[in-house]
Structure 1
Amino acid sequence: MLKVKTVKAKVPWVGEVEFETVQSARNAAWKLYVEMRTRIVTQQLDDDQGLLREALDSLYALFGLTRGILKDAGPDVGASPKKSVGDIAITFLNEGIRPFTATWHPKLRAWEAKCPEGRSAKEHEDQWPEASQMRQELRQLNQELTKFANALARIAGVPLLSTETQAQD
């Protein structure tokens, strides 16, 4: 038996949505939420922390993970006549993440190819003239991805995993 639930959420790159969803869609939203909130892309990455390559790889991994979650969930996640979890997730990939990765993957890859022998990836990345610009844009994306993850929590019908994120909505 399918249980239908009306959901309202403000979703970055999509806007305000209201739709009826079934348990499989809520489950998919929960899985996507967990993937988002446990990655560096929804955590603050200070200038002296981590590698930009790792952040890019984490963002890129969301494409495969999201596809898998949606495929496993089946067609119910796309069944809403207006917006659906599937539609929101695909929009998030194509309009939220893809522009950032399409810009920064090739630029960072070109810089990484110039790394002298004996220099660590961190040392080389710290010397990259575009590192601060990429980190700034990553922080902006981080804010939108956190809002997106919080919208997924609402869709899944679960409380946010952190009270800190509530202040960012």
Structure 2
Amino acid sequence: MRRRAQERGRRSDRFKAQEISVKIGVPLVGEISGTWRPDDVERQAAWELYVELTTRISVVELGEDEGLLREALSSFYTMFATTREILRRYGPAVAPQVAPGQVTFGVPAVNVLNLSIRPLLSRWHPLLTAHEGKRPGGLDPVAHERQWDRAVELRAEIESVRRVLLSLSSALREVAGVADLITVRVPPQVAPIGRPAP
């Protein structure tokens, strides 16, 4: 048992990034970029935030007639508490002072919140709340939201922020040295012995 764990540990060490280039474009702002030389504490923090991102609707493309705008905004909002908790748990070790041109876990994590998610929420949360307050009795919330004349505009901005989060998640995945958990890969069907595959 111990030998298997040691072998897994050696295997995972091969995939740990020693240095990565981070480049996360933020619409209307520019980009968060630099060289990241993660240590084990940052790798663990990167893994935790990566798990949070991969399991939220905020990184899944929202089709024209799919999901609710309110759910998407709520998912973005919860990223603040999640990121704060990770930063508190790991402390200053994930945001040390570094030379110009270098980044640490704290730089992309906090800047994506403040430069991408916060502007989206501060603009659209009150507008969507005002629209929701005008829902006539008897009309379900989904139908009311889809009738909103600004829904298409909000969906476009949600998509823009989603792309920023995908860039962040890609950097976190590389730092953590783990598989891509966002891109869905359907394994090929294996036919039982003696039967052709469908």
User: Of 36, 41, 44, which aligns to 1:27?
Assistant: 44
Q: Does 1:16 align with 2:36?
A: no
Q: Which runs of 5+ in 1 are unaligned?
A: none
User: Of 145, 148, 154, which aligns to 2:165?
Assistant: 145
Q: CA RMSD in A?
A: 2.1
**How many residue pairs get matched?**
163
User: Of 55, 61, 69, which aligns to 1:38?
Assistant: 55
Would the aligned equivalents of 1:36 and 1:42 in 2 still touch at CA under 8 Å? yes
1:32-84 superposed Cα distances (whole Å, 9 cap, x missing partner): 11111211111111111111000000000000000001111121101251421
Q: Which runs of 5+ in 2 are unaligned?
A: 1-16, 186-198
Would the aligned equivalents of 1:51 and 1:122 in 2 still touch at CA under 8 Å? yes
Q: Does 1:154 align with 2:174?
A: yes
Equivalent residue for 2:122?
Answer: 102
Mapped to 1, the partners of 2:89 and 2:166 lie a distance apart of: 24
Equivalent residue for 2:84?
Answer: 67
Rg (Cα) greater in structure: 2
Instruction: Give the TM-score, by structure 2 length.
Output: 0.75
SS in 1 for 2:135: coil
User: Of 135, 138, 160, which aligns to 1:118?
Assistant: 138
Letter in 2 for 1:9: V
How far apart are 1:148 and its partner, in Å? 1.5
Would the aligned equivalents of 2:45 and 2:90 in 1 still touch at CA under 8 Å? yes
Mapped to 1, the partners of 2:36 and 2:96 lie a distance apart of: 10
How far apart are 1:164 and its partner, in Å? 5.8
Identity %: 38
Instruction: Give the TM-score, by structure 1 length.
Output: 0.87
